[in-house]
Amino acid sequence: MDINGSVALVTGANRGLGRAFTQGLLDRGARKVYAAARRTEDIDLSSGRVEAITLDITDADHISQAVELARDVTLLVNNAGTNTFTDLVTGDLDKIRLDLDTHFYGTLGMVRGFAPTLGANGGGAIVNVLSAMSWFAYPGANAYHVAKAAEWALTNAVRLELAGQGTLVTGVHLGLADTDMTAGHDADKLPPAEVVRAALDGVEAGTWEVLVDDWSTHIKKSLAEDPRAFYAQG
């Protein structure tokens, strides 16, 4: 996948990683970037190669409208996300559903909607922005964990389903990026541009899974061990 000259669509492009993806794609020579967000007035990148579009990925009509508009897309970046900080046993079911509707059903809706477009345009690529929390639970955010775990499984599945049309599907895992969503966390955070650089390098190299930081690598390796050992680390 050559990003230079590509046409990309980035969800959640108004801030954080989405904004950084949009800028990173422009820097690598993307011919056009559809910057998608629920509130287009929050999109502040003024390049003539950026077209802001209204898109709520939990709304099937919004997805259909985006597919109809962006028929030239060759690279889809599924970045839009939520974190309701909700647990499963006692948490609000509507909040649990929102995390799942966004990360699983929303991402699936985007993949299903744009797969024919990507196939018609030569295959292209899909980037799903995942998380190290795809692989571990954390009290206070277990709805997010379940949603990201489901999105990881989705990524692995659609990768195989779309291989026949030549579409690369790259999953990107990271710990904390320095964005509005993580503003309340007192921990080391990755600069968004660093995450984007690793992700786009992976796409251009044809990589299936990008582990951006050492934390994600550690978590992935721990899956082969007794889970008690991991959670005992606190």
pLDDT tens digit string along 31-72? 999 999 998 888 888 789 999 999 999 999 999 999 999 999
Look at residue 92 in the predicted model and tell me its pLDDT: 98
Question: Quick one: residue 142, left, alpha or beta (phi over 0 = left, psi -120 to 50 = alpha)?
Answer: alpha
pTM of the model: 0.94
Residue 186 has pLDDT above 80, yes or no: no
d(CA 21, CA 79): 9
- Of all helices (H) and strands (E), which one includes residue 54? strand 50-54
The DSSP code sequence of 164-192 is GGT-EEEEEE-S-BSSGGGTT--S--B-H
Q: What's the mean per-residue pLDDT of the chain?
A: 94
Name the residue range of residue 166's domain.
7-231
- 1 located within any domain: no
Q: Is residue 2 part of a domain?
A: no
Is 144 noted as a catalytic residue in this protein?
yes
Q: What does the pLDDT look like over 72-126, one tens digit per residue?
A: 999 999 999 999 999 999 999 999 999 999 999 999 999 999 999 999 999 999 9
Identify whether 189 is part of a domain.
yes
**Cα(11)–Cα(44) distance, rounded to whole angstroms?**
14
CATH code where residue 34 lies: 3.40.50.720
pLDDT level of residue 164 (50, 70, 90 thresholds): very high
pLDDT at 170 over 80: yes
Please give the pLDDT value at position 132. Answer: 95
In a domain, 12, yes or no: yes
In a domain, 200, yes or no: yes
pLDDT at site 102 = 98
Please tell me which residue in 34, 105, 138, 144 is annotated as part of the active site: 144
Asked if residue 61 belongs to a domain, the reply is yes
Count of domains observed in the chain: 1
Per-residue model confidence (pLDDT) at position 45:
82
Alpha-carbon distance 162 to 127, whole Å? 13
Is the model's pLDDT at 182 over the cut of 60?
no
Residue 58, in any domain of the structure:
yes
**Within a domain: residue 226?**
yes
Q: How far apart are the first and last CA of the chain?
A: 40
